[in-house]
Amino acid sequence: MSIEMIMQYMYTTLMVALPVFIGVAILRVIRLEKKKRTYHLTWSRELGVHFFIMYIISLYEITAIRFGLGLSMESMIMRETRVNLELMKVLIKWFHLGIWWHLFYNVVGNCVWFVPLGIMVPTLWKETRSLWKVTIIGMITSISIEVLQYVLCTGVTDIDDVIFNTLGTIIGYWIWKRIYNMFKKK
């Protein structure tokens, strides 16, 4: 995937995610207004929740749904999709062929997309503040994206993606834990 293609994905993602986000935000505000007496509302937490919602919508759009850039009824009808369940098969092939950009993007890119998940989940929900809970959330999120890619025929369903997405979630949790411990000491 070229840098131009990534930029096009990001632009399209914003165009799709923003209206969805606005709708979700309005519904959340309406719901919170009804629960006003039983729910302690803070602006910092609400801002975090809204940022998380935008992140999740964008993550699914850029990795699985791909409106206008990958999703097509023709691909779905023809079942034009690929599945790789062999660990590191494609990455080793790219390494031997010297296809460095694809190798870099699939390893580093898949990790980077999930670092925010590992940071935001324990920040927003105290009950998830353990490595194994955040890891499971990251893994389930990644698997759901891979299943959507298969069903919608918008990408390669790849076990390596699940591994590197989950690793990104763990890295995000590690970053959150370091920052949390720093503030906790003060």
| C-alpha distance from residue 144 to each of 23, 64, 114, 138, 148 (Å) | 23, 9, 13, 10, 6
> What does the pLDDT read at residue 81?
76
The number of residues in the chain equals 186
Banded pLDDT at 40 (limits 50, 70, 90): low
Residue 76 has pLDDT above 70, yes or no: no
22 or 8: whose pLDDT is higher?
Answer: 22
pLDDT, tens only, 143-158: 999 999 998 888 889 9
Strand-pair partners of 84: 158
Cβ contacts of 45 within 8 Å, gap of 6 or more: 124
Task: Report whether 138 contacts 166 (CB < 8 A).
Answer: yes
Q: What torsion do the CA atoms of 12, 102, 154, 118 make, to the nearest 10 degrees?
A: -70
> What does the pLDDT read at residue 67?
65
Banded pLDDT at 68 (limits 50, 70, 90): low
